């Protein structure tokens, strides 16, 4: 079992038993690790203790993050965040296909894909010369389905496996601490509405969350919550287009295309990293 699998098991136990406030000893028995090794593993992965993680998972904390995020979204354009967002040491820029490129179905486009471990489990990533076009998490090998999705989205493109080509992107996204690293570029295909929603997601900073309703209001149609939800669910690039930062208005984390436990792990890890940076 890899470290993320152990962390995911711990997170599931914490969230399933949040009302009883499980102790480190309760948690260590559940995942069959000593309290010492569990504490060390958890802090190495999240930068915080399991106890602090439990505090972050509370509804009150989620509501606090919601209040803060509303301010961020409402002022994002004034802050120059309309097309990129700070993600630890990386900037993410998003480029949508043009109408002509959309119509061509990827004719002349070369897509390379690979699978790699990340701090949040295994990932499937696909890249083009213009940027990353797909990033998916998976718990069981789902490579063939991901390839089928690529072929459906880009039927005229040349698609082939190249872990050697995709590995540097994974390292830059998840493991690089170089503040001078190049921006991470995304190249996505979607309707105008979907792309607008994905751009709005880039304005939600790490350590913050928003709701479907507020995103709809931000985009100029307060009645479009369901349409926003569908667009969020259609996000082709996990983590970098941070759809995991959208939760229910009640503060409940809710569903996630790549697993609710993974979503909670992402949110709490980002919250912990943000607090750590502020404390420096």
The domain at 63-247 falls in which architecture?
Answer: Orthogonal Bundle (1.10)
SS3 11: helix
H helix and E strand count, the chain? 12, 9
List the chain domain ranges: 1-57, 63-247
**How far is it, in rounded angstroms, from Cα 128 to Cα 149?**
15
In this prediction, residues 144-169 reach a mean pLDDT of 95
**Active-site annotation holder among 11, 243, 265, 268:** 243
**How far is it, in rounded angstroms, from Cα 242 to Cα 210?**
11
For 1-57, CATH number?
Answer: 1.10.10
Is there a shared CATH topology between the 1-57 domain and the 63-247 domain? yes
As a whole number of Å, the CA-based R_g of the chain is 19
> Per-residue pLDDT tens for 59-92?
555 666 667 666 666 665 544 444 434 444 457 8
DSSP state of 220: T
268 an active-site residue?
no
pTM: 0.83
> Per-residue pLDDT tens for 90-131?
578 899 998 899 889 999 999 999 999 998 989 999 999 999
């Amino acid at each position: 079992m890899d470290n993320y699998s152990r962390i995911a098991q711990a997170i599931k136990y914490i969230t399933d038993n949040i009302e009883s406030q499980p102790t480190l000893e309760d948690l260590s028995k559940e995942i069959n690790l000593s309290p010492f090794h569990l504490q060390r593993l958890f802090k190495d992965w999240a930068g915080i203790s399991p106890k602090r993680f439990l505090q972050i998972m509370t509804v009150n904390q989620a509501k606090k993050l919601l209040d803060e995020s509303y301010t961020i979204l409402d002022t994002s354009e004034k802050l120059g965040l309309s097309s990129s967002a700070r993600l630890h040491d990386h900037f993410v820029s998003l480029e949508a296909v043009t109408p002509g490129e959309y119509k061509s179905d990827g004719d002349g486009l070369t897509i390379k894909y690979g699978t790699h471990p990340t701090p949040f489990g295994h990932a499937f990533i696909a890249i083009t010369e213009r940027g990353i076009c797909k990033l998916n998490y998976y718990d069981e090998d789902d490579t063939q389905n991901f390839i089928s999705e690529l072929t459906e989205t880009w039927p005229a493109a040349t698609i082939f496996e190249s872990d050697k080509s995709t590995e540097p992107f994974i390292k830059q996204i998840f493991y690089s601490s170089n503040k001078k690293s190049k921006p991470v570029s995304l190249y996505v295909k979607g309707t105008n509405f979907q792309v607008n929603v994905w751009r709005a997601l880039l304005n939600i900073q790490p350590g913050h969350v928003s709701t479907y309703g507020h995103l709809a209001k931000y985009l100029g149609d307060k009645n479009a919550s369901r349409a926003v939800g569908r667009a969020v669910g259609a996000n082709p690039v996990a983590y970098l287009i941070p759809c995991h930062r959208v939760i229910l208005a009640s503060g409940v984390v809710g569903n996630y295309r790549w697993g609710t436990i993974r979503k909670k792990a992402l949110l709490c890890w980002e919250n912990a990293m943000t607090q750590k940076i502020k404390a420096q």
